[in-house]
A = this chain, B = another copy of it.
Amino acid sequence: MNGHLRQPHRASRRGLLTAAGGLLAAAGARVPGSGAATGRAAGIEAFEGVHQAGILTPQQSHCYFAAFDLTADKRDAVVQLLQAWTDAARRLTAGQTAAPMDASLTGPGPDTAEAIGLLPSRLTLTFGFGAGLFVKDGKDRYGLAGLRPEALIDLPRFNGDQLIAEKTGGDLSVQACADDPQVAFHAVRQLARLAYGSASLRWTQAGFSSRPPDGTTPRNLMGFKDGTQTPEQPDRAVWAGDDGPAWMRDGSYLVVRRIRIALEHWDRTKVSFQEQTMGRHKYSGAPLGLKNEFEPLGLDRNDADENPVIPDNAHVRLGNAAANGAAEILRRGYSYNDGANFTAERWPPWRQGMEYDAGLLFLCYQTDPRTGFVKLFGTMAKFDMLNQFVTHTGGGLFACPGGIRQGSFLGQRLFTAA
């Protein structure tokens, strides 16, 4: 069961009423919104709960993902950072400024202010711990090495990986999702300010997901419906098992991949070949040879020549957990769009030139990455026909602890255990 109750409050982030030049009143208080925004956009997602929000929370339209490197020498500094992040996250997700505003102008301010007046926008902040929190360069910096979960492996190198070091890894992760890109970025920026001296930005990636208003499955940048198949029992697919360390109870493992899509190549490819590659029809989303999006894949269907209707190396076949002996994973993907830059494609016709730097910010949650993403993608990386159009250029694996309770802070059980 998801521990979060969604509270679609109407609230505004104005949070401060301005009087004379910069003098503030009603500092940081939530003020009922007067705007025309819909209930959905205005909503507040509960920050506290059994599980962290942002995992089973229905996807918001925007995401800003950030990974940080810890620079703190001392364990206490890490604890202080996580406490400060928790306090700020409680406020930010409620549509408030990162800290109460005050009238003083002699410092850099408790909040950078660009979200004042915007709605809470269902902001969720989901935190994760990378392997580097436990051991980095062979060093147990914070006395946590013994508590590193076995499931928090070093991801293997997958076939075709072209990971850019500056877009990979990180000791801490923050997934900020909101129905407003400025609200998501604002939240991470406040956390980054609180991290001065103890952690620094390693990489970030913005993403978006546009959902058709009629509730049909959204399409990714390849023009195909993405997200037709979701775990029937998300709670079983997502939450870490009891065999791991106690501090990860009610938590989940996040695998992130920044996947560049060769859109120019894709856009010049016949639709029939796109469909063979995916194993689904493009416009309807139905499995190849079928009519309706939500029909079972029917992976054992053969054509008149006794060839499988859905090819052996089609994306949906290889990505199907049941067919590959893998555990189900919960995908939470966003498209990304970073403009254009010079690229040499990896596959024929080996096009070179200015191409879109766009694709998929793939996020997935699971009970254990070894039986989830690693198992599933290990096969896909070798055989998936889609590989000729996609390149993994960054990402990471993060252990996202259980939810934060009233009066506690992020990772408290980890630091109490050690």
Mark A212-237 against chain B: 1 for CB-CB distance below 8 A, else 0. 11111011111110000000000000
Is the Cβ of A210 less than 8 Å from the Cβ of B118? yes
Answer yes or no: A339 CB below 8 A from chain B CBs.
yes
Take A22-B281, A213-B34, A214-B33 as given contacts and tell me if A267 and B16 are in contact as well, using a CB distance cutoff of 8 Å.
no
Is the Cβ of A214 less than 8 Å from the Cβ of B275? no
Answer yes or no: A180 CB below 8 A from chain B CBs.
yes
Is the Cβ of A340 less than 8 Å from the Cβ of B204? yes
Mark A188-203 against chain B: 1 for CB-CB distance below 8 A, else 0. 0100110010001111
Report chain B residues within 8 Å CB of A275: 22, 105
Within 8 A of B (CB), among A80-137: 101, 104-109, 111-119
Is the Cβ of B358 less than 8 Å from the Cβ of A185? yes
Copies per assembly: 2
Within 8 A of B (CB), among A255-278: 263-264, 266-272, 275
Q: Which of A34, A214, A263, A354 has the most CB of B within 10 A?
A: A214
User: Contacting A339 at CB < 8 Å: which of B203, B215, B340?
Assistant: B203
Is the Cβ of A267 less than 8 Å from the Cβ of B112? yes
Give bound CA distance, A189 to B284, whole Å: 21
Is the Cβ of A354 less than 8 Å from the Cβ of B203? yes
Report chain B residues within 8 Å CB of A358: 185
Query: How far is the CB of A369 from the nearest CB of chain B, in Å?
Result: 24
Query: How far is the CB of A138 from the nearest CB of chain B, in Å?
Result: 23
A interface, by DSSP: helix, strand, loop or mixed? loop
Is the Cβ of B223 less than 8 Å from the Cβ of A114? yes
Specify the chain B residue showing the minimal Cβ separation from A107.
B270
Is the Cβ of A355 less than 8 Å from the Cβ of B201? yes
Answer yes or no: A341 CB below 8 A from chain B CBs.
yes
Take A182-B335, A223-B113, A335-B182 as given contacts and tell me if A33 and B201 are in contact as well, using a CB distance cutoff of 8 Å.
no
Is the Cβ of A268 less than 8 Å from the Cβ of B108? yes
Is the Cβ of A33 less than 8 Å from the Cβ of B200? no
Answer yes or no: A181 CB below 8 A from chain B CBs.
yes
Within 8 A of B (CB), among A354-369: 354-356, 358
Give bound CA distance, A360 to B302, whole Å: 54
Answer yes or no: A183 CB below 8 A from chain B CBs.
yes
Give bound CA distance, A266 to B116, whole Å: 17
Answer yes or no: A283 CB below 8 A from chain B CBs.
yes
Give bound CA distance, A112 to B335, whole Å: 15
Q: Which of A108, A182, A193, A290 has the most CB of B within 10 A?
A: A182
Give bound CA distance, A230 to B221, whole Å: 36
Is the Cβ of A206 less than 8 Å from the Cβ of B337? yes
Is the Cβ of B185 less than 8 Å from the Cβ of A117? no
Is the Cβ of B108 less than 8 Å from the Cβ of A283? no
Take A22-B282, A189-B267, A271-B109 as given contacts and tell me if A38 and B36 are in contact as well, using a CB distance cutoff of 8 Å.
yes
Give bound CA distance, A213 to B39, whole Å: 12
Specify the chain B residue showing the minimal Cβ separation from A215.
B35
Q: Which of A113, A289, A342 has the most CB of B within 10 A?
A: A113
Specify the chain B residue showing the minimal Cβ separation from A224.
B113
Is the Cβ of A181 less than 8 Å from the Cβ of B35? no
Report chain B residues within 8 Å CB of A221: 114, 182, 185
User: Contacting A220 at CB < 8 Å: which of B106, B114, B339, B354?
Assistant: B114
- The residues of A with any CB-CB pair to B shorter than 8 Å are 12, 14, 16, 18-22, 24, 33-38, 40, 42, 64, 101, 104-109, 111-119, 166-167, 180-183, 185, 189, 192-193, 196, 200-206, 208, 210, 212-216, 218-224, 263-264, 266-272, 275, 281-284, 286, 288-291, 335, 337-342, 353-356, 358
**In the complex, given contacts A22-B281, A42-B213, what are 5 additional A-B residue pairs having Cβ atoms less than 8 angstroms apart?**
A116-B219, A183-B210, A185-B358, A203-B340, A206-B339
